[in-house]
Structure formats: C-alpha cells, structure tokens
Amino acid sequence: MSIADSGKRKLWKASGPGVVAALSSRPARELNKDLFPDDGSFMKRSQVKLFCELFDLGNPAPVLREVWERIDTVVDERNGIAHGRLTPEEVGRRYSHGEMLNLIDVWGARWSDFLDWIEPQCQGSSFYLSKR
C-alpha cells in the first residue's frame, strides 16, 4: 500500500509509522515537509499527540499547558468561519477584547515553548536514523 492509498483524512495515522520507519532507514539530508499531516484539519490535538508519539517526543500537553485544552476549539472555530458555518461575529462575541489579546499572547508563547522543546530532541542525524 502506498502512502497516497491511505486517503487524505487518514494519511498520517495510517501511514505515519511507515514514514517514520523510512526516515529511520536512511541518512536524512532534508526532511520532506510534504510527509506531515495535511488533511485540512489544521493540526488538532490528536494530530499533535500522534506526531509526538511517532517521533518519541513525549507528551506535548505539559509543554502547551493551557493551549492544549484549547487547540480543538480554536481549530473548530477557525474552520467554522472558513467554511461559512459560523460568522466572525458569532465567534467574536464569545470572547472579550482582553480574552482575545490574552489568547493570542498565550498561543504564541506556548507554541514557541513547543518548538523550543522539540528542537533539541531533533538535533543531529541520529534522531532521524534511530529505530522507533
């Protein structure tokens, strides 16, 4: 079965272990960014968790802290607006101005923490070559 045969919605979950195995079997020159989730769901919590599991990165929840519980809500509201199910006004009414500013600040800080947490774990080719 090829990676493409697994279907767009299940691409990463069905084919992720094979991708990790393929990355582990040969030296990494450059990581193909097209291998990562692209099913239109904009990295819901389940995808972040699966990504961390497949690459043995550990539990992302303690790093993302309060953002961890908000990921799916933010994605759902974003998708609701993008696909016309919700209006920006409907979503915007759910938050005060201060809450929105806080969410933006916290979101940026926690995802920066996440990248800072992952980066040292991914240093050197041994990360991409190790058996998982």
Tell me the pLDDT tens digit for each residue of 29-56.
566 666 665 655 568 898 899 888 888 8
pLDDT at 70: 95
pLDDT at 16: 72
* 19 pLDDT above the threshold of 90: no
29 close to 130: Cβ distance less than 8 angstroms: no
60 close to 96: Cβ distance less than 8 angstroms: no
The tokens 């090829």 sit on which residue?
2
Burial class of residue 103 in the structure, from the number of CB atoms within 10 Å of its CB (0-12 exposed, 13-18 middle, 19+ buried): middle
Q: Domain spans of the chain?
A: 4-129
39 close to 50: Cβ distance less than 8 angstroms: no
31 close to 128: Cβ distance less than 8 angstroms: yes
Measure the CA–CA gap between 23 and 16, rounded to whole angstroms. Answer: 11
Expressed in angstroms, the distance from the first to the final Cα of the chain is 20
Residue range 77-104, pLDDT digits in tens: 999 999 999 999 999 999 999 999 999 9
User: What pTM did the predictor assign?
Assistant: 0.66
DSSP state of 125: T
